[in-house]
Structure 1
Amino acid sequence: MRHLALAASAAVLAFAAASGAQAEEGMWTFDNFPIARANQTLGTHIDQAWLDRVRLSSVKFGGCSAGIVSGEGLVMTNNHCVASCVANLSTQAVNYAETGFTPRSREEELKCPGGTAEILTDITDVTERMHAAGAGLEGQAFTQARDAESGRIEQEACAGDATTRCQVVSLYRGGQFKLYKYRRYTDVRLAFAPEDRAATFGGDLDNFSFPRFAIDAAFIRLYENDQPAVTPTHFKWNADKPVEGTPVFVSGSPGSTQRLLTMDQLTTIRDVVLPLDQLIASELRGRLIRFSEESEENAFIAMDPISGVENTYKRGRGRMAALVDPAFMRMKAEAEADFRGRYAALPNAAGSDPWAELATVQPIVRETYAAMALLEGGTGMGTTSVGGGSQLFSWARTLVRGAQERAKPSAERLPEYADSRLAAAQSGLFAERPVYPSLEQVRLEWWLSKTREWLTVDDPRVRGLLGQESPEGLWARLVEGTTLADPAVRRALWEGGLAAIEASNDPLIQYLLSIQDETRTVRADWEARVEAPTARASEQLAAARFAAYGDTVYPDATGTLRLTYGRIEGSDVPGQRFGAFTTFAGLWDRATGAPPFDVAPKLLAAKDRIDPDTVLDMAVSSDTIGGSSGSPVVNEAGELLGANFDSTVLTQRNAYGYDRNVNRSVIVTTSAVTAALRDVYGMERLVEELGVE
């Protein structure tokens, strides 16, 4: 049934993909938003001044999005976006995930360890400089020249200013480069979080679905000089009941889409990247669940990691469904055929075939992806992480790599250790986060056992990783002996530089030193044989798109601020039929008293105080993807109506192409958050700050 339903819109999708964005399609950058088309589609009257206010009210918070809602630095995001902060601030005795975090004064708002928040203040085109830097170069020389130039640009724009961060962003897969300048806050404090069960009602069964009955919202506050930040530009809180059909705009930082990939590249994702990621994630999920069942302490430790890996796995499952769907892939093939026909008619097309160049790279990707993903990460293609997500491993890697790279001139370093990016590395390194050795060992054992399994026992890189030890024995020794859980130790090693690192007797530091040859070789090979030729050919395709389709082309999502739009509405396709809203009455009706449909205790106790017709969640036809979590949903007046926290499972194909018929973002409403603050958790001071009468 799903294939039939999606086939019905394949023709529309093919036209949209071939001729540029149509209707609500597109995660648009703020310097190229189609104001006229949005206004025509929605019947709205927004202008550039409106866009500027929305941009300056939007926040990037870690891997999530958020929106400023008061003049005193108050920011709303999703509860799952503050889950790590809540976990870091909690203990087994005082578990804020169970009780909620409800400070009675600002003095009780607690700093999120390592938390940073950023507001995009300026966008500058640096395409000419970046293209010139790589001109005439091939292989690793090409990537190194580009990396060095981006570091120089960032350093020139933000050097010496701890309150800003500059980032050179590749758009259209190398067709454009923009310098994004952010106002950066490193003092981010938790101002409110509900009981986790209130935000995750329905658990994994309801994830990526609608109807939903979750209050997935939380508040943080930006501080500077130990005082709440002054934020005169912010969204106005609108606690009114939302109206179906209302035009809305969603402002956030979607993580990554792959809509501009060729069919050959998509086939590699389908056949190599997603299977590896999914198989590995499914085993990690099983190990974490087993670990959590061993004791109450383990259940507390593993709660947030399990939620994260389940979300990753389910998202991957939805994407795999798209790439094995004949109708969807036929649509993508038709769009590519249209593009190739237009490309062939361009004056400068003779003798150049970027599709063929990308096709020759794919066998190399298939051969090298597993090693790159498992030993280095950062492929930009999948979700597998080096070290298995271990915090101790990550710190050790940053210390070792950082020391080795800082001994070189900035232009010769790996890009993540250029002078312009050291502040971000230090921020994560010096954060005071709790470390659980038992969880660390689970993650590290899993990572090394999977690396050995995928690369095989006889791979010399595996022998370098393990020596004569087993994954279990090696990591038991390293985790037990390391002192990197102490932030003072990490700071001393970082400040001591390469001499301190090489003199350290910490077993984890010594281990990371010992595997640098293997891992750096994998990265260098990937950059030379995959990254460089892919960038070259993609740059040609980007220029061709501009020539063929003009400014109707939007770039793939890159984790940078974007604006999309749509309407509040339900869905009426086979396998996905629902209205636009859910209410608290629906929550009480859906509750069974048993997990995952058990209502959070404080929320249940407030049942009689909440108007049952209050809208809890709503569906919106906006173009979103992972990373859009927490995105402010605003109306034409710039008023906040809610925050994006999920999308339906059919929307996961959004990574590769937009389909208005099935694309639905799931939004927690401001009316629900107001009811929770006022009627459940006694947070009247926040209700007053939001201007609710």
Structure 2
Amino acid sequence: MKKIILSLVAGIMLMPMSVKADEGMWFLMFIERLNHRDMQKMGLQLTPQEIYSINNHSLKDAIVQFNGGCTAELISKDGLVLTNHHCGYDAIAELSTAEKNYLKEGYWAANRKEELKPSSLFVRFFVRMDDCSKRILSVVTPGMSEAEREKAINQEIAKIEKENNEGGKYTVSVRPFFQGNEYYYFVYQDYKDVRLVGTPPESLGKFGGDTDNWEWPRHTADFSMFRIYADANGNPAEYSVNNVPLNPKHHLPVNLSGVKENDFAMILGYPGRTNRWMPAGGIEQNVKFAYPAWVEGSKTGMDNMKKYMVQSDALNLVYASKFAGVANYWKNRQGMIDALTKFGTAKSKAAQEAKFNTWANQPANQAKYGNVVANINKYYDMTNEKSRHDNYLQQLFRTSAFGTISRSLGRQLEMYTKADAAKRAEMAPAIEEMANEMFKELHIPAEKDILAAQLALYAKKAGYALAPTVEKLAKENNGDFTNYVASAFDASIFTSIEKIKAYLANPNDAALTSDPLYVLSNDLTAHIGKRSDELMKAQNDFGASFRLLVEGLRESKIGTTLYPDANSTLRLTYGKVRSLPADKRNDAKVNNYTTLDGQVKKYKKGDLEFDLPTKVIDMNAKKDFGRYADKDGSLHVNFLTDNDITGGNSGSPVLNGKGELIGLAFDGNIEAMAGDVIFDQKLQRTINVDIRYVLWVIENFSGAKHIVDEMTLVK
């Protein structure tokens, strides 16, 4: 481990030490050397070994990646897991029916037998990490193309993963950092028997809906609870009634004292993706080409889902999860456009690159770095229009169940058609199950409208070179795809379970390859991946040049970023509870928290986003907050910190200096939406659920005190 620390520090010390303490997403294993002293000054009372240790239990053992896209934490000795409501949303929706709608009504298991198992849900524990940069980089040479380099690296990665997975016991992931200038491998252990323990009703868990998303002040109970089960020896196991709750190495104590301005706060989690090293051309491309198309395509899909979702609870459940995911990024991307434009981020990056280019073309550096900036800018110039085109098409894929049908169910039917009778008999049940699962998450009238609207938008706005089938249909139908889609759905074998079963009984290659939805999907999915020889060369040069840009920025000490971009590996960020300027929309005395009274003031009876259970209104009127009231007499709902987080941190624990749970991270503020590209010291905030509000919802509102009794409460 000492070798690893020295290796990273040697690289980092090439950068100027000018980043403030609350910026950065840091590896836990380097905390002692890089951050511990700063954290102590701010209020940390833990040793580095209490945060990260391989041989003894530590904070890392209480943090899990939740279902591959969020973060969660262990909060009891019996495997109780806390994460965001929006992180558990898919599982809650899957377990819900029109008769037992847990999204709408909430759910709390009265005992372990009532905890509900979704079909597919897992958590991932971080075991250890190590530096494999020298080994990986020893297999590449400067003369390799990017494709050759990738092949050589992937071959070495496969060896490292096999060497460290202990016969399949662990999942091993080798990840690049600093744009492929360093590599580390991470060892994980996955648990797949994860069951729903409880969730508040959607009126609390999603209070404010899309209107309040990415906004402050917030008043949202964005949490849900699950439990990890293991075999009798504590090992991962497939679902079984004989499994028992996991006894974790560490679980977080829960602090009931609340927070105040400037209190220390640290967050551990799995941030998904940042682009702090992105060149100016990439930022400009996103702002002017890619993100506007993303926003418009998302809105088109959302509008066509929504007009069916409002028709019934059953249809709302069909599209609730997909709509929530699309809506989240729709608002995020518009916020990114606004923030990056406002702050002139591309301009400041361009100035940095101009300074770098001067350094790069000094005689000592020119051979290695001289063409870096020119190659990067050439690539973006070539791909601006394509990025707009691709984003319109990607939103079609994201919102229409039939845009990629040729790559999912269609591919299975291809293999089925070519198989012999024995193999077909083996494949048929799995294909039927795949089709059944697909049809649970779509409504044919809605799918017709979504696909027709997205095709019309793509044909009208995408520019570049349209997919040939769409270009032909647009000319034939004057840009209106309504009739074409209706007839395609009528003729397709993919639009009902009955048609798919009939095809399985009598497969016919000609029927499949001429199917109108299959033909359309094949054309769209093939088209988005097409690259001319000229573009492939520019892409190759860009990959090598971007890697050299990052290496050169670190070597030349131009710029201020010290840490690698987020890439879904466990990181720690630290800062403090920190208010925003006074806001008349917030009734709190200090604009770093919100109250239940403020939530009730937003209440709109029957509104999809701002309705509330009558019981909440009554309890607020009586100030029935029990032991979770703040010393000021109110019930605090959400609070602000200035931690540096991004997507993937959803559900991350907010901890005080003793490592005690004080809140649950769930959002950021739209004013600092450029945060994935540049950290704003003044405006960037993390929005968190106050843990006292979480417990009040569980115990006082929901009557599930037995769940709170599992936890270790401190004050």
Q: If the TM-score is normalised by the length of the shorter chain, which range does it land in?
A: 0.7 to 0.9
Is contact 1:73-1:222 (8 Å) kept?
A: yes
Is contact 1:78-1:217 (8 Å) kept?
A: yes
Is contact 1:242-1:615 (8 Å) kept?
A: no
- Amino acid of the structure 2 residue aligned with 1:165: T
- 1:168 is paired with a residue whose SS is strand
Provide the residue aligned with 1:418 in structure 2.
none
C-alpha spacing 1:515/1:576, structure 2 compared with 1 (3 Å) = same
- Point out the more displaced range, 124-133 or 543-552: 543-552
2:47 is equivalent to residue 61 of structure 1: no
Provide the residue aligned with 1:24 in structure 2.
22
Provide the residue aligned with 2:48 in structure 1.
48
Is contact 1:165-1:184 (8 Å) kept?
A: yes
Provide the residue aligned with 1:245 in structure 2.
262
What is the distance in 2 between the residues matched to 1:18 and 1:479? 61
User: Which residues of 2 match residues 517-528 of structure 1 at below 5 A?
Assistant: 519-520=525-526, 522-523=528-529, 525=531, 528=536
- Amino acid of the structure 1 residue aligned with 2:616: L
- Amino acid of the structure 2 residue aligned with 1:287: N
- 2:188 is paired with a residue whose SS is strand
Gaps of 5+ in 2: 1-14, 53-57, 231-236, 416-430, 477-482
2:227 is equivalent to residue 217 of structure 1: no
2:176 is equivalent to residue 170 of structure 1: yes
Provide the residue aligned with 2:407 in structure 1.
397
Q: Deviations over 1:560-613 (max 9, x none)?
A: 222111111211289999611112233234434352332234534544432461
For these two proteins, the number of residue pairs brought into alignment is: 640
Please, what is the CA RMSD of the aligned residues? 4.0
Which of 540, 546, 567 aligns to 1:532? It is: 540
C-alpha spacing 1:310/1:459, structure 2 compared with 1 (3 Å) = closer
- Amino acid of the structure 2 residue aligned with 1:36: H
Structure 1 position 81, deviation (Å): 1.0
Provide the residue aligned with 2:100 in structure 1.
94
Is contact 1:174-1:542 (8 Å) kept?
A: no
Structure 1 position 477, deviation (Å): 4.5
Structure 1 position 148, deviation (Å): 4.4
Provide the residue aligned with 1:321 in structure 2.
338
What is the distance in 1 between the residues matched to 2:507 and 2:404? 15
Which of 280, 283, 301 aligns to 2:318? It is: 301
Is contact 2:297-2:396 (8 Å) kept?
A: no
Provide the residue aligned with 2:487 in structure 1.
473
Structure 1 position 214, deviation (Å): 1.2
What is the distance in 2 between the residues matched to 1:181 and 1:542? 26
- Amino acid of the structure 2 residue aligned with 1:547: E
C-alpha spacing 1:206/1:531, structure 2 compared with 1 (3 Å) = same
- 2:128 is paired with a residue whose SS is strand
- Point out the more displaced range, 549-558 or 642-651: 549-558
Is contact 1:18-1:339 (8 Å) kept?
A: no
- 1:177 is paired with a residue whose SS is strand
Identity of aligned residues (%): 22
Q: Deviations over 1:185-239 (max 9, x none)?
A: 2222111110111122222222212221111111111223332222121221222
Provide the residue aligned with 2:10 in structure 1.
none
- Amino acid of the structure 2 residue aligned with 1:598: D
C-alpha spacing 1:37/1:453, structure 2 compared with 1 (3 Å) = farther
Q: Deviations over 1:429-480 (max 9, x none)?
A: 7996733333554554455444444556984543599799934433454475
What is the distance in 2 between the residues matched to 1:663 and 1:463? 42
Gaps of 5+ in 1: 1-16, 376-383, 406-425, 494-499
Q: Deviations over 1:489-526 (max 9, x none)?
A: 9xx99xxxxxx999797789996588658745753638
Provide the residue aligned with 1:203 in structure 2.
209
What is the distance in 2 between the residues matched to 1:133 and 1:388? 37
- 2:183 is paired with a residue whose SS is strand
Q: Deviations over 1:30-59 (max 9, x none)?
A: 344432353265243443313212322211
What is the distance in 2 between the residues matched to 1:114 and 1:453? 39
C-alpha spacing 1:398/1:594, structure 2 compared with 1 (3 Å) = closer
- Point out the more displaced range, 510-519 or 309-318: 510-519
- Point out the more displaced range, 86-95 or 229-238: 229-238
What is the distance in 2 between the residues matched to 1:618 and 1:362? 40
Which of 366, 370, 394 aligns to 2:384? It is: 366
Which of 133, 137, 144 aligns to 1:127? It is: 133
Is contact 2:318-2:441 (8 Å) kept?
A: no
Is contact 1:437-1:480 (8 Å) kept?
A: no
| Larger radius of gyration between Structure 1 and Structure 2 | 2
Is contact 2:297-2:392 (8 Å) kept?
A: no
What is the distance in 2 between the residues matched to 1:556 and 1:481? 42
- Point out the more displaced range, 661-670 or 365-374: 365-374
C-alpha spacing 1:110/1:446, structure 2 compared with 1 (3 Å) = farther
What is the distance in 2 between the residues matched to 1:441 and 1:98? 27
- Amino acid of the structure 1 residue aligned with 2:712: G
Provide the residue aligned with 1:580 in structure 2.
592
Structure 1 position 639, deviation (Å): 0.8
Is contact 2:353-2:373 (8 Å) kept?
A: no
What is the distance in 2 between the residues matched to 1:636 and 1:269? 38
Structure 1 position 327, deviation (Å): 4.6
Which of 154, 159, 162 aligns to 2:161? It is: 154
User: Which residues of 2 match residues 435-450 of structure 1 at below 5 A?
Assistant: 435-438=441-444, 439-450=446-457
What is the distance in 2 between the residues matched to 1:570 and 1:620? 7
2:676 is equivalent to residue 655 of structure 1: yes
Q: Deviations over 1:352-408 (max 9, x none)?
A: 231111111112322433555566xxxxxxxx4562345576686256679999xxx
- Amino acid of the structure 1 residue aligned with 2:579: G
